[in-house]
Amino acid sequence: MAQNGEREQWGTKIGLILAVAGNAVGLGNFLRFPVQAAQNGGGAFMIPYFIFFILLGIPLMWIEWGIGRHGGTFKHGSTPGMFDVLWKNKLAKYFGALGLFISITILIYYTYIESWTLGFSLFSILGMYSHETKETMTTFLSSYQGSTTSQTFTSILPAYILMIITFFINFWVLYRGISRGIEKLAKIAMPMLFIFGVILAIRIVTLGTPDPTHPENSVLNGFAFIWNPDFSALGNPNIWLAAAGQIFFTLSVGMGTIHAYASYLKKNDDIVLSGLATSSTNEFVEVILGGSIAIPVAVAFFGLEATKEIAAGGSFNLGFVSMPIIFGSDAFPMGEIFGFMWFLLLFFAGITSSVAMGQPVVAFLEDEFGMDRKKAVGTLAIGVLIAVQFVVFFLKYGFLDEMDYWAGTFGLVVFALIETILFMWVFGADKAWKEMNNGGDIKIPFFFYYIMKYVTPVILMILMIWWFVQSALPTLMLHNVSPVNVPYIWGARVLMVIIAFILIWMVKKAWDNNHSEVK
């Protein structure tokens, strides 16, 4: 931990890269990517996917590392202070408050989802599910979540206890600090995630055809489902927007977390190579490991048509219902161990992301209010613990989904657009370019200057408008929402408004205090 008011620093460069890669690698790498690829043109999806990786993903990565390191030299570890440095305007810090809002709101529900993975890894090794059907496994999950009851779970207590354990681990890591907590976690969790991912992928690839009476249900056909290209899909703009969205989500940009991590770098530390290494690590986990596990094994066990239905049912359906059925079946030898590895892998992917979501607020309290780390982490923990109660107990009423849409989907693209405009246009593209390349172990190819200045903000604007029309408006107007859920959806909105107001008030208070101190 930092002493005498000095800001903390990363212990090693590889530790920093693993921590930022851990922030990017999440549940979506294993559950969202293969579903998106399979549903949007198979192999042909990779054409827009790689194009947007270059036009959107990598540029945003470098922009966020650049803003973060620049803000850190002014002793700001969160976006209100960073934006205030970039743009000498009273409003800048309030735009930055959005970075705090998004990270803390996602943290509130993400910690709970993360605790399910911890729970399911224990249930796997204890053999608590075996020979399950879709119906029994759905009941297993919903009773664990407290939405129904079953013979296994008669109350929400096990889920609540596991949530508290996950919560404690997260905040303990945050309390330990940058190098002794977050970096140490990344150095353990990321290699473990790789090892488990490779073992699972090899096991699944070598499964072949689990049921010889259905030779069409094979792992090879699972790969075919993801990779056989449908070039006609490329004429559909939805496919291009899906690819842009996937790149955007997978790199965890637009959340204020990368900025916070990069703020603990020195002025002349490299960010170009680190940003590239982070992005490529995430892509390795997503395309190579993520694409070789869930969907191929689902096709091998359930067949193509059933897998399409599973994929349409969403990521949770694939991860928490279909995968346990597979691991609990006789056709998957030592399924308890592989199930344990699958869910522990998801837990590692989750925890390295959730601690990153906690860091911006901790840094904000430390840097702008002068709190020590213990007090800052304690304050955040109390706030999150209060808010998470609503998510736990109102889960079945769509409380979590509402928070996820506004903070974890729409909010990200709005924030990314704001930061890109601020850095490349308000701060100035030439200064931003110099800032990003400063101390770089490699130089950013010059064509990225034009991509970052013109192409990335235009793509973000198109994405934002598209999502606003396609999903934000219907979500806002409560289309297709059951009348029973309506009060809870409004409850989620009120909670988010309260969080936003508290953060704006705190930003104002911090600047009022700091300003009067300067006087």
**305 vs 517, beta carbon nearer other proteins:** 305
CB of 17 to other proteins, least distance (A): 7
CB of 35 to other proteins, least distance (A): 16
CB of 290 to other proteins, least distance (A): 11
CB of 11 to other proteins, least distance (A): 12
What is the C-alpha separation between 192 and 469, in angstroms, rounded? 41
What is the C-alpha separation between 418 and 458, in angstroms, rounded? 12
**229 vs 313, beta carbon nearer other proteins:** 229
**205 vs 461, beta carbon nearer other proteins:** 205
CB of 204 to other proteins, least distance (A): 15
How many CA atoms lie less than 13 Å away from 162 in the CB half-sphere?
20
**281 vs 420, beta carbon nearer other proteins:** 281
Which residues are near other proteins by CB under 8 A? 12-14, 17, 42-44, 46, 50, 216, 220-221, 223-225, 227-229, 270, 273-274, 276-277, 280-281, 283-284, 287-288, 304, 441-442
**Which amino acid makes up residue 129?**
Y
Backbone angles phi, psi at 301, to 5 degrees: -95, -35
**Which amino acid makes up residue 136?**
T
CB of 348 to other proteins, least distance (A): 18
CB of 105 to other proteins, least distance (A): 31
What is the C-alpha separation between 383 and 276, in angstroms, rounded? 35
In this structure, is the dihedral angle defined by the CA atoms of residues 263, 79, 33 and 451, taken in order, positive or negative?
negative
Nearest to 116 by CA among 189, 197, 27: 27
Cβ-contact 308, 93 below 8 angstroms: no
Cβ-contact 248, 408 below 8 angstroms: no
Cβ-contact 26, 350 below 8 angstroms: yes
**189 vs 272, beta carbon nearer other proteins:** 272
Report DSSP state, residue 119: H
For tokens 């109390």, what's the residue? Answer: 382
**17 vs 178, beta carbon nearer other proteins:** 17
**1 vs 220, beta carbon nearer other proteins:** 220
Cβ-contact 63, 404 below 8 angstroms: no
